[in-house]
Amino acid sequence: MELHDQTVKSLCLVYLFTGPKGFVRADAFAGDGRLPFETSRRGIFAIGDVRAGSTKRVAAAVGEGAQLVATLHMYLTQAVDRLRIMIGPALEVAHG
């Protein structure tokens, strides 16, 4: 049980860039090598009230969530492509 608790803690210890008011920086638009809503940490996204510059309304948070679905599909597709590039040569070696 203790090991499980430590594992959870280590997974949650992630530092993200924030704005001057402490909200997480994640632009709603792609740019600077980042996908929409991607934080300073690749693969971590922020939407809703926690995001710097968000509207702080229920409808806005829900809308950002809906937008994020498309972004996540894009991110996962890119991640699979990166994995193929990384392990592709290893697979060729393994299979002769």
Ligand X SMILES: Cc1cc2nc3c(=O)[nH]c(=O)nc-3n(C[C@H](O)[C@H](O)[C@H](O)COP(=O)(O)OP(=O)(O)OC[C@H]3O[C@@H](n4cnc5c(N)ncnc54)[C@H](O)[C@@H]3O)c2cc1C
Q: Report the interface residues with ligand X, using CB under 6 A.
A: 48-49, 56-59, 61
Minimum CB separation from ligand X for residue 30, in Å? 21
Q: Rounded distance, CA 4 to CA 8, Å?
A: 6
Between 17 and 83, CB nearer to ligand X: 17
Between 34 and 60, CB nearer to ligand X: 60
Minimum CB separation from ligand X for residue 51, in Å? 8
Q: Rounded distance, CA 50 to CA 28, Å?
A: 13
* Residue 38, strand partner residues: 45
Minimum CB separation from ligand X for residue 96, in Å? 48
How many of the other CB atoms lie within 10 Å of CB of 23?
Answer: 16
Between 52 and 61, CB nearer to ligand X: 61
Closest C-alpha among 50, 40, 1 to residue 17: 40
